[in-house]
Amino acid sequence: MMLAYAENGRPLPLVAPISQPFFDAAREQKLLLQKCPRDGFFFYPRSHCPHCLKTDWSWQPARASGKVYSFTIERMGQDPSQRARIPFVIAVVDLDEGVRIIGNIVDCAHEDVRVSMAVNVCFEIIDNMPLTCFRSVSAT
């Protein structure tokens, strides 16, 4: 995905027509995923079901909960726009629907983050653009 930049220099995703419903819902703190009617496969902004390659999927509300699959702690701030934020956690999360997504873990001390930690999806809004992030279930 290509990037745009917020006024404060933070990188932001570019919205494409296929992903517009995802971002519109995310601005309201709601997670939508695409679901295939044949195989029940969930996925996120793509034109085709990655399982059967058909295009008659529909947007469905997701539970927005999952577990940390892996994570890293950014301590170096190699991207200058991120230096004021370090340290912060970048996590890969397996959602209950089977979709694996990436985002920051917020409102949690970085030393408390663990693989398999239960999290909920939330969205940080910057320049009206929602960025996917996660909160520990134990913190909500």
- List residues near Zn ion by CB under 5 A: 36, 39, 41, 49, 51-52
In the bound state with Zn ion, the residue whose beta carbon lies nearer, of 54 and 83, is 54
Under 8 Å between Cβ of 34 and 44: yes
Least distance to Zn ion, CB of residue 57, Å: 7
Least distance to Zn ion, CB of residue 62, Å: 17
Least distance to Zn ion, CB of residue 22, Å: 18
129-136 and 100-105: which strand pairing? parallel
Q: Which helix (H) or strand (E) holds 4?
A: strand 3-5
Least distance to Zn ion, CB of residue 20, Å: 21
Q: Where are the alpha helices (DSSP H) in the chain?
A: 20-26
Question: Which among 113, 121, 126 has a CA at the least distance from the CA of 81?
Answer: 126
Distances 106 to 3, 38, 126, 130, 135 between C-alpha atoms, Å: 21, 36, 14, 14, 6
Question: Which among 69, 60, 53, 55 has a CA at the least distance from the CA of 103?
Answer: 69
Least distance to Zn ion, CB of residue 36, Å: 3
